[in-house]
Structure 1
Amino acid sequence: MNHNVTKASPKTYTQDQAFNATLKYFKNDDLAARVWLNKYALKDSQGNIYELTPNDMHLRIANELARVEKKYANPLSADDIFNLIKDFKYIVPQGSPMAGIGNPFQIASLSNCFVIGNDGNSDSYGGIMKIDQEQVQLMKRRGGVGHDLSHIRPKGSMVKNSALTSTGIVPFMERYSNSTREVAQDGRRGALMLSVSINHPDSEDFIDAKLEQGKVTGANVSVRIDDDFMRAVKGDTDYTQKYPIFSDNPKVSKTVKANDLWKKIVHNAWKSAEPGILFWDTIINESVPDCYADLGYKTVSTNPCGEIPLCPYDSCRLLAINLFSYVDKPFTKEASFNFPLFKKHIVAAQRIMDDIIDLELEKIDVILQKIDEDPEIDEVKATERTLWINIKRKAEEGRRTGIGITAEGDMLAALGIQYGSEEGNAFSLEVHKTIAIETYRASVHLAKERGPFAIFDAELEKNNPFIQRLKEADSKLYYEMLEYGRRNIALLTIAPTGTTSLMTQTTSGIEPVFLPVYKRRRKVNPNDKDVRVDFVDEVGDSWEEYVVFHHRFKQWMEVNGIDSSKNFSQEELDDLVKQSPYYKATSNDVDWLSKVSMQGAIQKWVDHSISVTINLPNDVSEDLVGDLYLKAWEAGCKGVTVYRDGSRSGVLISNDDKKEEKCKDSLTSFPVKRPQVLQADVVRFQNNKEKWIAFIGIIDDKPYEIFTGLTDDEDGILIPRWVNSGLIIKSRTDKGASRYDFQYENKRGYKTTIEGLSHKFNPEYWNYAKLISSTLRHGMPIDNIVDLINSLQLDSESINTWKNGVGRALKRYVADGTQAKGQTCDSCKSDKLIYQEGCLTCKDCGSSKCG
């Protein structure tokens, strides 16, 4: 069938036109519509919108990919490609490729991930500053960046400058973190990964750096751990750290108790979810690109989410295959996985990924042209220009791709298999093994048609464990690879798919479902018919409580003849979940050791790495976290991140005993146990065209907690405009859960209560509100909290909107005269900015900026 694939029309649309059409496209999924419109719809720098719905975007992408296909044998047509990518059903280019392919208004890279670094062990100030500049230049082109700090000499080392001794790693962590926070990418902050080897003498300082208030808030941090260290942990023996790391003739050598350092890593991860762990020997030994280490492909760090280990100046582009769409007759007894169609589409996905490399090379040429045309002197432009030349060389020479997946949790549920069960792990392994074999087969066939990547050498790869597994699984593929080579140096990953999964309306990446069902409320209009009124507020408006179902849970209901529009009681909802294939299969239900085992088994068939988080309840012990890390190493995982519910508040604890005591002293005005009733301020604000409201609990004139969300719309909270204060009352539901009500006095002197603030807001807003409230309750200075909120790396556009509003609401509580750290005046570039009544005022030129 012909879909009339043509070049995008220059016609523009208003925000309302595009939103309404996109909302219809996503079947009234407001969040998916806003994410697509804000992040991926084609628009120019003036905000003019050129695409009405995602279909227009898919046409744009299909036309560009078809243009590249015409350069090669057996080209896919634009119609072929459109049918593969439309409706986010099968193949989904992720992030930068979706936004950038065919986009004439943005000079940006199509790469999602970059790693940078210096050759050898250069740790001169010049080398360190070069990395800083390169990081900024990449982030302004939309890329996430990683780099390793193991080359920096440890604290106290002699240096030949006026300082005489080195400051060590931590000050440079803060420098790189601050640079990240300063770079805006189309309304979002840059993303940074900092890593260091456990063999480095400063690794303990690195591990502790983020525990100090307000430090390194712009970066994720991970420790590269080698097998010798892990064996020393298991054997409770000493471990020798060196600088340069692993040197036979180190300038610095330091013996530590492996378990002491290990316990610190585990404690900090338990407390604050960082540092993450990279099992470095596993990464290097399994890495196919590291077979070419002597040719410049030695892996040194990872991208910010850890799923792409890279050598300096290499990059990767990401694409996800929607696993749910390959389940025939989902949620029925006849459900089956369509492996023949799946294999066919894997081949097409790898072709598309290879085409995107060609498009990336074109984008880099445009970036280089822009640099050349810039008015700066050549000396200023030199670092940026050399950076992009190096990146182009690696992309052209290695042609690295990042084929991944989304909807693993929904795929299993649709097949009637419980996520995390033995059967579930076995089926997932079969799926990922299939992806590995067919993707590599596709790359071999592309090499036959288009030529292999420039430095392919089968002799260098012959002992690589991943290549050996491919040989054992499919000897024909292996011998074809010997004959024709391979088009791409490495091919596979499993990335987090935050916004991607919102648009596919599925579970994210390899993860299970977060919640299959939750409740919200909406306003009932006077003319609405056949609606249920749950309560009437003091101004006479009627409200109906309704249930929000995870999209595929709702599909399960429909398949089983369950009316999703029915007014369910909580007991009925609980019973529904028990009947469904999502029962005992949410992120908080899945057995932790089973998930680690699953990750380790699947990792054997992913040549890059896997981004996955092990979610733990708040009350787990540190020993359990340590056991999970040890199990992950033994299972063959390349990395692991553990998140204990509520643990993010741990970022506020100082590792310095004196600072800890000082912090305790500053908390004496706040009660250890939350009072049942708090005085509260009501703050209203607007983000774009949306009206928002915040309820801020106050103790001793200081914010103690904050709840916020949309207001004056069908999903929000409506209270009279004149209400600017009241009470937040904590109580318990019938089931013993915490509940927070807002109460105010109306003009007649009667008390009016808005019940259950937690049910009024999107559950994701509520979770982040608890995080911010925890920082308030621990007495962190408000200006530091505002900085912390601004630094949060959040993938969802609506949550970024929430984040901006919370920061704006809290700024008014910053004491007048407080110096604003790390910011400069937009008018005169002075750094002498102070807070005045919630606004930033420049002491040099007097200009003021609010909001």
Structure 2
Amino acid sequence: MNTELAQKTAKTYSTDSAFEASLKYFKNDELAARVWLNKYALKDSEGNIYELTPNDMHTRIAKEIARVEKKYANPMSEKEIFDLIKDFKYIVPQGSPMAGIGNPYQIGSLSNCFVIGNDGNSDSYGGIMKIDQEQVQLMKRRGGVGHDLSHIRPKGSAVKNSALTSTGIVPFMERYSNSTREVAQDGRRGALMLSVSINHPDSEDFINAKLEQGKVTGANVSVRIDDEFMKAVKNDSDYIQKYPVFSENPKVSKTIKANALWKKIVHNAWKSAEPGILFWDTIINESVPDCYADLGYKTVSTNPCGEIPLCPYDSCRLLAINLFSYVENPFTDKAAFNFDLFKKHVAAAQRIMDDIIDLELEKIDNIIKKIDQDPELDEVKATERNLWLNIQRKAEEGRRTGVGITAEGDMLAALGIQYGSKAGNAFSLEVHKTIAIEAYRASVHLAKDRGAFSIFDVEREKNNPFINRLKEADSQLYYEMLEYGRRNIALLTIAPTGTTSLMTQTTSGIEPVFMPVYKRRRKVNPNDNDARVDFVDEVGDSWEEYVVFHHRFKQWMEVKGIDTTKNFSQTEIDKLIKKSPYYKATSNDVDWLSKVSMQGAIQKWVDHSISVTINLPNDVSEDLVGELYLKAWEVGCKGVTVYRDGSRSGVLISNEDNKEEKADTTLTAFPIKRPQVLEADVVRFQNSKEKWIAFIGLIDEKPYEVFTGLADDEDGILIPRWVNKGVIIKNKDEDGSTRYDFQYKNTRGYKTTIEGLSHKFNPEFWNYAKLISSTLRHGMPIDKIVDLINSLQLDSESINTWKNGVVRALKRYVADGTKAKGQACDNCKSENLIYQEGCLTCKDCGSSKCG
């Protein structure tokens, strides 16, 4: 049966039936069921669902991997593969591989991570625009992207064009950030990492860019810090910044006080959780792929979460091993870690990862074929096509993999070992050392059967610290590698595993448990005789409070014979936690310096990097953040991020600062009289499969007025897809009535005007738009306007659609970190929701809803 016919005859399921079946599969865990159904169940662009439970997904994945296995010697069977991945118990392909393997309905990549970049120090507009286009092309295929800005000349530098001097890095940060925000990925925005070297003269501007509200909201930012800078910080000495960075003959040089810039980094991280830090000399010196730097494998940046440093146009696919599943007799005196089974499965995981590279190469072939078949001119398609050819070459040549773990916190608890203790750190180190040795052994054995990656050269790697660590730990492995080579250029990582851990029902990645027990609320009908009302909110709605246990904490309770159905008081909950192996082992309990030391020790056995966050309470000092960063460098971490409870990018939320911000947002700073010309954003979105467009007039980058309606009907607005900026001009018609025109520059720089925005859309839309614009002009906070629009009771279906569109358009201007009032999370029903990049994000379960 051909693929097209198979698609037409495939059985489909309703959302309700699939949710009901997956809810049963996950033992009534609504959050896990929703995450799987929304993100990973096989579906087409029309919303038809083709998988009922994760068993169907695991069958799909196993079939495809088994098909690849048949190409090689001693293939694993479909059943062997299925038994490894079923129930998320042992091996879990993450994200893109889970959604994309065997998916005939989506032309996408299986890679989770990409890095792009220009060769050398090219900072021409052409090069900068090429990166922008490549970034967008990758994001539309579901990938997270990173790139470095150190090649862009600093602000004020001479340029040979009409500008005469360079604008510096920050405007391009905003460009790349805005591009990220505009790309949809199955209901999500793209993910972007921007980095810059501390040696760059604009690095301080880069560090400060995200502190301004509304700036660079579509990217994570990290600073590449070299050892020389860190030594200057310790010695309180000067440091010389250069452009080109680290050049022996720089065009620009600038002497700074290292400690002054360091304190700025620390302050910003304390205040807003960014920038992250990349200890660049450690990354490069430890990197195995950088042994091949002259062959195109020079590491330049990382993926958005920082766990995969990459060279330009390389990519990586991720897989997690569920550590909890190797603990026999968990939470008992007989608990033990099955290292024999674990070693066997690490080898299988590496083999499966290598198979997934073959599947990725097939996906890339399909992407290139799709590009070739598209009707655009070849010159339009050239950048996208060359991008995928470059990615194809790197994937085929280096065969990079990303084997990682999840459930570290639950593994230790199940063994009765406290996370963050000396015993805990020592055991974790042993586990990760085992992964490194067995994964590399598997890659060597794969090279024997399948051939080494094409540029493998033992001489190049002989002085690499990571390779020499393997040699010292297992000489037999090293000498086998000398004989057969290695199948993969680099193998290991530790990613955050956010949604993966929801489906494994464990702690995520290398992190401890966030909270072992917490309370949630569900709305109830107070007139129901069986209802229990624990809380009545300010609008009179009644709620029942109920206790939610972390899955493995509940398992501990069951092992200990504790009734998990009882409605516990807070005092009883506190006593339970104190008795459990999770006591003093939550993300806010662990000793922070100990966690940094643990990361540094484990990093010695991870050839890529580790995504880890040091969670700190709100009242910690900036000095402690600086101490943690310094410690991380000293113990050999490749990167580190701190998150102080309550900090949000660009938003001050301490009690004192709230008063200041409230005063600022309740007083209008807008002029009473509308200026004739306003800067404007163009926002496109879909409602009920209809294409809509909004024009947002801005003053000081804050919304001042809004026009919106259908984008593609007979009376609608039609402008090119690439137009996202322009101006709105207030003019008068011949009869003296006011009209609002939108004007933008076309590709040749000529101005194109669309007359009469107020007349282009349905008059009913316009009347409501005037109401909304009036509230904007009088300085009402955006989140309050969003609440106001949501509360409108409108009879017309088209007006309700318009209402949803206005809300979606305005949400992007709500400051990150703003708390949403009167709304509950669809997944966990928590009311602890904040706005983040225009999406409502639940602080309790992490789920995000846009639109």
Q: TM-score scaled to structure 2, two decimals?
A: 0.79
In the alignment, which residue of structure 2 is the partner of 1:845?
none
Counterpart of 2:379, as a letter, is E
Of 768, 772, 789, which aligns to 2:837?
789
Partner amino acid for 1:666?
A: D
Is the CA contact 1:408–1:508 (under 8 Å) kept in the aligned structure 2? yes
Q: Is the 8 A contact 1:210 1:651 kept in 2?
A: no
Q: 2:830·2:842 contact (CA, 8 Å) conserved in 1?
A: no
Match of 2:158 in 1: 158
Taking the aligned partners of 1:275 and 1:741, their CA distance within structure 2 comes to: 26
1:348-497 paired onto structure 2 within 5 Å: 348-497=348-497
Letter in 2 for 1:314: D
Q: CA deviation at 1:538?
A: 13
Does the 8 Å contact 1:452/1:487 carry over to 2? yes
Retained in 2: the 8 A contact 1:496–1:509?
yes
Deviation of the 1:790 alpha carbon: 1.9
Q: Distance in 2 between matches of 1:702 and 1:305?
A: 32
**Residue 240 of structure 2 aligns to a residue in which SS?**
strand
CA–CA distance in 2 between the matches of 1:797 and 1:661?
28
After TM superposition, give the deviation of residue 647 of structure 1 in Å: 1.2
Shift in alpha-carbon separation, 1:455–1:589, aligned structure 2, 3 A: same
Q: Specify the SS of the correspondent of 2:838.
A: helix
CA distance in 1, matches of 2:487, 2:841: 34
Superposition pairs for residues 233-632 of structure 1, below 5 Å?
233-522=233-522, 544-632=544-632
Structure 1 contact 212–652 (Cα < 8 Å) conserved:
no
Separation (CA, whole Å) in 1 of partners of 2:154 and 2:298: 23
AA of the residue aligned to 1:361: L
Structure 2: stretches of 5+ with no match in the other structure: 1-5, 669-686, 689-775, 791-818
* Structure-2 separation of matches of 1:123 and 1:541: 58
Q: Is the 8 A contact 1:601 1:636 kept in 2?
A: yes
1:717 aligned residue: none
Provide the residue aligned with 1:80 in structure 2.
80
CA change 1:457–1:327 in 2 (3 A) is same
Q: Which deviates further from its counterpart, 522-531 or 249-258? A: 522-531
2-structure distance, mates of 1:170, 1:762? 37
How far has the Cα of 1:519 moved from its partner?
1.6
Corresponding residue of 1:31: 31
Deviation at 1:347, TM superposition (A): 0.7
Tell me, yes or no, if the aligned pair for 1:213 and 1:652 is still in contact at 8 Å.
no
Distance apart, 1:520 and its partner CA: 2.4
Deviation at 1:566, TM superposition (A): 1.1
Write the letter of the residue equivalent to 1:790. Answer: G
What are the superposed Cα offsets for residues 641-673 of structure 1, whole Å, 9 maximum, x if unpaired? Answer: 0011111164469xxxxxx99989735759xxx
CA RMSD in angstroms, aligned pairs only:
3.1
Structure 1 residues 718-733: aligned runs within 5 Å: none
CA offset digits 1:41-71 (Å, max 9, x no partner): 0011111100000000000000000000000
For the residues of structure 1 that align with 2:159 and 2:174, how far apart are their CA atoms? 20
Report the Cα distance in structure 2 between the residues aligned to 1:527 and 1:668, rounded to whole angstroms.
40
1:625-653 CA distances to partner (integer Å, 9 max, x unpaired)? 00000000001000000011111164469
Aligned partners of 1:413 and 1:582 also within 8 Å: yes
Letter in 2 for 1:158: A
C-alpha displacement at 1:768, in angstroms?
3.8
1:848 aligns to what?
A: none
| Whole-Å separation in 1 of the counterparts to 2:185 and 2:70 | 33
Query: 1:829 — aligned with what?
Result: none
* Deviation string, structure 1 residues 122-161 (Cα, Å, up to 9, x no partner): 1111000100000000000000000000001111111111
1:596–1:741 distance in 2 versus 1, CA, 3 Å: closer
- Partner in structure 1 of residue 223 of structure 2: 223
Cα deviations by residue, 1:575-606 (Å, 9 ceiling, x for unpaired): 00000000111111111101100000000000
Give yes or no for contact 2:839–2:848 (8 Å, CA) kept in 1. Answer: no
Q: Does 1:666 align with 2:664?
A: yes
Question: Which residue identity does 2:121 align to in structure 1?
Answer: N
Question: Relative to structure 1, is the Cα distance of residues 341 and 454 closer, same or farther in structure 2, using a 3 angstrom cutoff?
Answer: same
1:95 maps to 95
8 Å CA contact retained: 2:222, 2:275 = yes
Q: Measure how far apart 1:315 and its partner are.
A: 0.2
Aligned amino acid, residue 183 of structure 1:
V
Rounded Cα–Cα distance in structure 1 between residues aligned with 2:316 and 2:537: 53
Shift of 1:567: 1.9
1:799 is aligned to 2:847: yes
Letter in 2 for 1:449: D
Determine the structure 2 residue equivalent to 1:725. none
Whether contact under 8 Å (1:38, 1:797) holds in the other structure is: no
CA displacement, residues 529-569 of structure 1 (integer Å, 9 cap, x when unaligned)? 99866589999998643211000000000000000001211
Q: Is the alpha carbon distance of 1:157 and 1:12 closer, same or farther for their aligned partners in structure 2, counting shifts above 3 Å?
A: same
Do the aligned partners of 1:371 and 1:385 also contact (CA within 8 Å) in 2? yes
The 1:160/1:476 distance shift into structure 2, 3 A limit, reads same
Distance 1:404 1:448 in 2: 23
CA shift for structure 1 position 212: 1.3
| Cα shift at 1:22 | 0.4
Q: Measured at CA, do residues 85 and 199 of structure 1 come closer, stay the same or move farther in structure 2, by a change above 3 Å?
A: same
Quote how far apart the aligned CAs of 1:789 are: 3.4
SS in 2 for 1:43: coil
CA shift, 1:761, in A, is 9.2
Cα deviation per residue 1:280-332 (whole Å; 9 max; x = unaligned)?
Answer: 00000000000000111000000000000000000000000000000000000
CA distance in 1, matches of 2:407, 2:786: 31
Number of the residue aligned with 2:68:
68
3-state secondary structure, aligned to 2:146: strand
SS for the counterpart of 2:463 is coil
Q: Residues 767 and 222 of structure 1: is their aligned pair in 2 closer, same or farther, counting only changes over 3 Å?
A: farther
**Contact (CA 8 Å) 2:832, 2:842: kept in 1 or not?**
no
For 2:359, give the aligned amino acid: L
Relative to 1, partners in 2 of residues 1:484 and 1:256: Cα closer, same or farther, differing over 3 Å? Answer: same
**1-structure distance, mates of 2:520, 2:18:** 25
Distance verdict in 2 for CA 1:703–1:113, change over 3 Å:
closer
* TM-aligned CA distance change 1:329 to 1:763, over 3 Å: same
Match for 1:102: what amino acid?
G
Give me the whole-angstrom Cα distance separating, in 1, the residues matched to 2:313 and 2:330.
43
Contact 1:368/1:388, CA 8 A, preserved across alignment: yes
Residues in 1 aligned to 2:845 and 2:135: alpha-carbon distance in whole angstroms:
24
| Structure 2 counterparts to residues 658-697 of structure 1, below 5 A | 666-667=664-665, 669=667
User: Residues 703, 129 of structure 1: CA spacing in aligned structure 2 closer, same or farther, 3 A cutoff?
Assistant: closer
Distance 1:661 1:19, change over 3 A: closer
User: Shift of residue 450 of structure 1?
Assistant: 0.3
- Matched to 1:799, the amino acid is S
Q: What SS class does the counterpart of residue 151 from structure 2 fall into?
A: coil
- 8 Å CA contact 1:499, 1:796 repeated in 2: no
Letter in 1 for 2:553: F
Does the aligned pair in 2 maintain the 1:214–1:652 contact within 8 Å?
no
- Distance in 1, matches of 2:445 and 2:527, equals 62
Distance in 1 separating the partners of 2:826 and 2:848: 15
Q: Which residue identity does 1:282 align to in structure 2? A: T
1: CA distance, partners of 2:391 / 2:845: 29
1:124 counterpart residue number: 124
- Number of matched residues? 705
Report the AA paired with residue 847 of structure 2.
I
Letter in 1 for 2:269: A
Q: C-alpha deviations, 1:106-129, integer Å up to 9, x for none? A: 000000000000111111110001
Partner of 2:493, secondary structure, is coil
Other structure's SS at 1:614 match: strand
Q: Once the two structures are aligned, what percentage of the paired residues are identical?
A: 83
Counterpart in 2 of 1:745? none
The aligned amino acid for 1:27 is K
Query: Residue 350 of structure 1 aligns to which amino acid in structure 2?
Result: Q
